[in-house]
Structure 1
């Protein structure tokens, strides 16, 4: 699993933010802009005064991506009046996602993007928007892959050079419009919760005592103990489920478990929708850290959890013989 971690940027990180901001911007744009224009932009956009003001802006948030105590990328999001153009209280702007070139392709940008999604959900934003230079095809492909669509253009000045940015938008309710939505558990979904989990477990492993216990009576063994179960509906039919199991543990508030998506519904991003909904639910309940268990045999699950930004942990007791990896996710 990845050792890349995300953390909020504080006022004490101003120098590090200036450094990573300048370095990543130069790596991305130095080859296609004049030295004079680049210098002018960097001096203005990453001055001590500008960076300090941005860090003190209550309607902006920065996050660092860190690997082995080295800052390798960062995210900046804006909301409310701090958005650079739309200033819509229903939206969140991704102003910057930058990663050092040597770390391109290792999932860092996706981790930062997923953090933006989590911030948007925390703020109950209806959509996310951004501007990306029309010549930055790598970035455009990245955002298109994540569901963004172009809706307008605007002019960006870099020194004396006039450039065109493509404005792109992601409707956070778009999946619901397509017929997929996440709801809380009701008794009528008990059979689906059981059968969807049994389907994947028996495909790779064998059912164990803890499986029978949780799936056989989710009300008593999950919900009545302070947990939650979420269900993904596609045209009102349950096609995915996951559970937040309350933990009596000084380190963790909940375990994210019993994640299952019907094979017929896979490839639609439902597992990520369930994870993001579970994270938001856990935060709303005051949680700060989530525990997860899995098996390295489940490659799609491993990729999903890596995108969320989990960190490996070891040595915790588990009731499952199939478990060969334990993880935690800081959701603060």
Structure 2
């Protein structure tokens, strides 16, 4: 199994949009009320939104490939973290196709994100995870993350019983 991860460029826009929509939809379509999934996909993964994110100094998207085929993506965010949190890097999104869960690819991606954070001089890695996603929480805990605080997501159309979230952090 050959895993490759590369930072998305404008030339990757179409491929990035496709894997973002596929990976997110296949994992979380059932979390939304009618019309909500389409709304969210447009808000997060439309060509215009992805173009803006790729061109921005505040975010980086990475495409994840297994044996030359796209199987996931991750997004790093830099803009939300201001004093006293300038030493944090936020892992905003990391989604894999369901067929790749448990394959070790997520760990490979997380290791890359940690390396990027360390190279940037960051001291902590921050992320949010839905509190009902116990598999993801266990994955992050196994990889050194701990609960920082409990919070709630404020997303229209998202099912109320799934809005609980954990803010998790790993010291580097």
Normalised to the residue count of structure 2, the TM-score between the two structures is 0.90
1:59 to 1:43, Cα distance in 2 relative to 1, 3 A: closer
Once the 2 structures are TM-superposed, how far is the Cα of residue 151 of structure 1 from its aligned partner?
1.1
Decide whether the 8 Å contact of 2:33 with 2:157 is kept in 1.
no
Once the 2 structures are TM-superposed, how far is the Cα of residue 52 of structure 1 from its aligned partner?
0.8
**2:26 aligned with 1:16:** no
Decide whether the 8 Å contact of 1:40 with 1:159 is kept in 2.
no
**2:130 aligned with 1:142:** no
Match of 2:58 in 1: 59
Q: Deviations over 1:216-266 (max 9, x none)?
A: xxxxxxxxxxxxxxxxxxxxxxxxxxxxxxxxxxxxxxxxxxxxxxxxxxx
2: distance between equivalents of 1:19 and 1:132? Answer: 23
Decide whether the 8 Å contact of 1:93 with 1:128 is kept in 2.
yes
Match of 2:151 in 1: 154
Once the 2 structures are TM-superposed, how far is the Cα of residue 89 of structure 1 from its aligned partner?
1.3
Once the 2 structures are TM-superposed, how far is the Cα of residue 36 of structure 1 from its aligned partner?
1.3
Match of 1:167 in 2: 167
1:129 corresponds, among 117, 126, 129, to 126
2: distance between equivalents of 1:154 and 1:61? Answer: 25
Once the 2 structures are TM-superposed, how far is the Cα of residue 35 of structure 1 from its aligned partner?
3.4
Match of 2:26 in 1: 27
Decide whether the 8 Å contact of 1:38 with 1:159 is kept in 2.
no
2: distance between equivalents of 1:69 and 1:138? Answer: 26
Matches within 5 A, 1:30-109: 30-79=29-78, 82-83=79-80, 86-87=81-82, 88-109=85-106
Q: Give the gaps of 5 or more residues in structure 2.
A: none
**2:124 aligned with 1:119:** no
Match of 1:198 in 2: none
Once the 2 structures are TM-superposed, how far is the Cα of residue 37 of structure 1 from its aligned partner?
1.2
SS at match of 1:158: coil
2: distance between equivalents of 1:4 and 1:69? Answer: 8
Decide whether the 8 Å contact of 1:151 with 1:168 is kept in 2.
yes
SS at match of 1:157: coil
1: distance between equivalents of 2:66 and 2:23? Answer: 16
Q: Deviations over 1:245-302 (max 9, x none)?
A: xxxxxxxxxxxxxxxxxxxxxxxxxxxxxxxxxxxxxxxxxxxxxxxxxxxxxxxxxx
Once the 2 structures are TM-superposed, how far is the Cα of residue 160 of structure 1 from its aligned partner?
3.1
Once the 2 structures are TM-superposed, how far is the Cα of residue 142 of structure 1 from its aligned partner?
0.7
Specify which structure has the bigger relative contact order, considering alpha-carbon pairs within 8 angstroms and separated by 6 or more residues: 2
Q: Which moved more, 1:154-163 or 1:30-39?
A: 154-163
Question: Where has structure 1 moved over 3 Å in runs of 4 or more?
Answer: none
1: distance between equivalents of 2:3 and 2:56? Answer: 26
2: distance between equivalents of 1:38 and 1:160? Answer: 8
Matches within 5 A, 1:172-183: 172=172
Match of 2:5 in 1: 6
Decide whether the 8 Å contact of 1:37 with 1:159 is kept in 2.
yes
Q: Give the gaps of 5 or more residues in structure 1.
A: 173-332
